Each structure stands twice: as structure tokens, then as C-alpha cells.
Chains A and B, each alone.
Chain A
Amino acid sequence: MNVTTVFINALAVVCLVFALIKDPAKTKQALKMAVISFFRIFPTVLAIIIIIGLLSGFVPESQISKIVGENAGFKGVLTVAFLGAILHIPSLISFPLAASLLEKGASITSVAVFITTLTMIGMVTLPLEIRILGKKLALLRNGLSFIIAIIIGLIMGAIL
């Protein structure tokens, strides 16, 4: 157990205690929601974790760094940006995936770009976004998000 783990769990306990004091009924509702979403997210967590294992066992580090590493250049960055935009992984699980890629030789830039496009751009939800917010706004938001994800990644790669 590291400091972050302890911190997150302590924070959850403190919030839970405060919530219980303030409104037990609402807290019960929140816990019910939590249990449901835990079971909802768990299959995906397991699947991604198996994929991470396979990735580290079967894909050699040189391969990963060739595709998404420092020397992959802008093409590598674009590749991960597209992957992040298309894939529909819950962002909670994108972090361990990103960490394992980083460990295996991916660059900070590509990992940051991947997380950012993954969360900000939703190809799956784009039709819905267009219907509700209009074509112009939805396409502008997703398109510009793609560009700023790359900018954020490049800056992070430069300063970290």
C-alpha cells in the first residue's frame, strides 16, 4: 500500500462518515449506486487488466517504444490520439493501462495524448452530441479537443 492508496481510502471514509451524519438515507442511496457501478465496471476492469498482462508478456518493449515511444515521432502521437478517440474504455481504467505502457517504453507525450483524447472525445457518443448540441458545436468541440490533446501531450513531453 502506498501513500496514494491510503489517502484515497481515508478520503472515502471521511466523506462517508460526514455523509452519514448529514443524511443517512441519501448516503444509503449513494452506497447502493456505488455497489451497482462497481459491478457494472468490474468486467471491463478485469478485461483491461488481462490485456495489460498480455501486453507486458507478449509485446516486447522495443515494439512498444517503436510505436508510441520517444522516437516514434509525430506519427506515433497521431496514432495514439486516434486510438484514444475511437476506443471506449472507462477513463478510470485508462490510467493503469497508461502506466503499463509508460513502463514498457511509451513516451510521456503519447500517454498524455491517449488519456486526454480518450476522455474528451467520444466517437460513440458523437451522434448523440450532434443531435443534442448541433453539428457545428459538437464537431468543433471534438475536433479542437483532438488538437489540444496533442498540444497538451507535446508540452508534457517537453517539460516532464
Chain B
Amino acid sequence: MKKMMSKEKQKKGLVKDMLFLGITLVIAVVLLLMFPEKREPVISSSKGFFVEMILILPAVIILMGLFAVFVPNDVIVKYLGRSSGIKGIFLAILMGAFPTGPLYVAFPIAAALLKKGARISNIIASLSAWACIKIPQELVELQFLGLKFMITRLLLTVVFVIIMGIAIEQIILWSEKTNKHEQTS
């Protein structure tokens, strides 16, 4: 049942993407017919990026598929938010960095872990890592933006994601303390 629903959703997404592609294509053709002198730069620039993308896309997608199958969600769940302290946060980030599907897959996992008593900071850190640090994606960033950019952004992201996790935990704890009597679930 759930699978069928997701399949339907996927189909709808695909239709939307094809529509997006179609509209883009029509706009491009119209513009290039109106401005023939722009044809050369537009096509050569698109071609360059297309070649670069197509050379890495299959490899990246194969890596993601392998990760997804060999590092299943329950392994991630087992380690996410299990230990506490700074080690726990690093583990949470590392676990989030395994490519295991889109962010909305992570929400229920995060909710379940929170219910089980995992630290809020760990969960926020791993959610954020899940969102923006994916090992194959870092490789694409490396390809297009260079080593220095990729490493700097990665390090800064890890640092700030940790800070954000701790900050959100403090805010939540503080606000829970101030209106304890209002709490329901």
C-alpha cells in the first residue's frame, strides 16, 4: 500500500519534471530562434556542462545505490543518537552522510529516535547532515567547484551543524522548562 503510494508520487514527480524540461526546451528554442547569434555560446556552454555531468552522474548514482542497499536504514537508526556527547554528534553526522534517500525519509526516523530519548542535538545534527552532506554529492562538488571550496564548505558545515544542534537543544529545553504545564505530548 505504502509502496504503491510512493510509486504514484514518483510518477507524478516525473510528469512534473518532464513538464519542467519541456517548458525549458521550448523557451530555449524560441530564444535561440529569435537570437541566432546566441546559438553558439548557449549550445557550447550547455554541451560542456552536459559532458562533465554525464561523465560522473552514472558513477555517483551507482555509489548512492550501493550505499542505500548495503547500509540500510535500520543500521543508521541503530547508531543515530545512541551515544551522547561530542562523539555522539560526530557519529550522528557520519550516519547522516550515508546516502539513504531524500530528507523526508529522515523525518520519521528522527521522530522515532526522539521518542526513544535520543538527544535533540544529535538528531538535529544528523538531519542536517542527511540534508547536505552526502558522500557522492561531495564528489560532484569536488568536480565542479574544486577541492578548496568543497573541503572548506564541508568543514564549516560540520562545525555549524554541531553548533546548531546544541543551540536548538538548549532552546527546546529552555522553552519546555518555562511552560511545563502547557505541555501535552
Contact = CB atoms under 8 A, between A and B. Distances in A.
B8 interface: no
Given A19-B66, A120-B128, A9 B59 contact: yes
Interface in A65-98: 91-93, 95-96, 98
B79 interface: no
Contact of B20 (A19, A44, A100, A119): A44
B57 A128 contact: no
B96 to A, nearest CB: 12
Q: Is the interface of B mostly helix, strand, loop or mixed?
A: helix
A13 B60 CA distance: 11
Given A57-B41, A100-B49, A33 B65 contact: yes
Contact of B137 (A45, A92, A120, A133): A92
Interface size classification for chain A: 35 or more
Q: Is the interface of A mostly helix, strand, loop or mixed?
A: helix
B86 interface: no
Given A95-B143, A128-B104, A38 B69 contact: no
A46 B21 contact: yes
Interface residues of B, number: 77
Interface in A91-123: 91-93, 95-96, 98-100, 102, 108, 111-112, 115-116, 119-120, 122
Contacts of B178: none
Contacts of B148: 160
B43 A53 contact: yes
A107 to B, nearest CB: 12
Contact of A133 (B18, B62, B68, B111): B111
Interface string A126-145: 00110011001100110011
Given A49-B53, A99-B145, A148 B60 contact: no
Contacts of B64: 34, 37
A64 interface: no
Contacts of A91: 132, 134, 137
A46 B24 CA distance: 9
A37 to B, nearest CB: 6
A160 B171 contact: no
Interface in B13-45: 13-14, 17-18, 20-21, 24-25, 27-28, 31, 35, 38, 41-43, 45
18 contacts: A8-B140, A12-B63, A16-B66, A33-B69, A34-B61, A34-B62, A40-B13, A41-B61, A47-B25, A52-B45, A53-B28, A58-B31, A91-B134, A95-B143, A96-B144, A133-B111, A140-B171, A156-B152
Interface of A: 1-2, 4-5, 7-9, 11-13, 15-16, 19, 22-23, 26-27, 29-34, 37-38, 40-41, 43-47, 49-54, 56-58, 91-93, 95-96, 98-100, 102, 108, 111-112, 115-116, 119-120, 122, 125, 128-129, 132-133, 136-137, 140-141, 144-145, 148, 151-152, 155-156, 159-160
